[in-house]
Amino acid sequence: MSTPDLLHAYRRLLRAGLRAVQFSQPSRATITAQLRAGFRDPKGEFDAERVRRTVWFLNAAAQQRGLEHKILKNLCRVQWQRQYEVRRMGWRLRVDREEKGERKRKSGKMDPDAIKGAEFGHYERTVAMLNDTMGLCLR
């Protein structure tokens, strides 16, 4: 795809997303961050049809408080909560946890809390299935 097409797609998605969340602060920051991450992803693929359908979805979320609005609200809330947890945890604690997990993996000992670290697997699969069935590019 050409650069102007990517730029126009980014702007359309940003405008529709901000209208859908009514420019509210936590959701506005989440939408902007997710959109930036999606367009900066080197493995990402640009599909104009998916962008067009996503803009329709976001416009529908902006027009009335229906299913689209609830889905978007929950996506923003979950992403904001995930980022909040990462910001709240200090960098030393993150490094210590990663080193401890690496040592346990090498020694073969499993963590008694098997759910830790896999909390969002089901959520991510659900969002991926929603994207596939509706032809969207939500994150």
Q: The whole model's pTM is what?
A: 0.78
Burial 26-40 (b: 16+ CB within 10 A, else e): ebbebbeebbeeeee
The answer on pLDDT for 115 being more than 70 is no
What pLDDT is stored for residue 74 in this prediction?
A: 94
Question: Is 96 part of a structural domain of the chain?
Answer: yes
Residue 9: inside a domain, yes or no? Answer: yes
CA proximity to 73, closest of 37, 30, 125, 14: 30
User: What is the count of structural domains for the chain?
Assistant: 1
Residue 118 lies in a domain: yes
Q: pLDDT higher for 67 or 98?
A: 67
Domain assignment present for 55: yes
In a domain, 32, yes or no: yes
**Structural domain of 7:** 3-134
Considering only CA atoms, which of 21, 132, 134 is closest in space to residue 79? 21
Q: Choose between 27 and 110: higher pLDDT.
A: 27
Mean of the per-residue pLDDT values for the chain? Answer: 86
Among residues of the chain, what percentage have pLDDT more than 70?
82
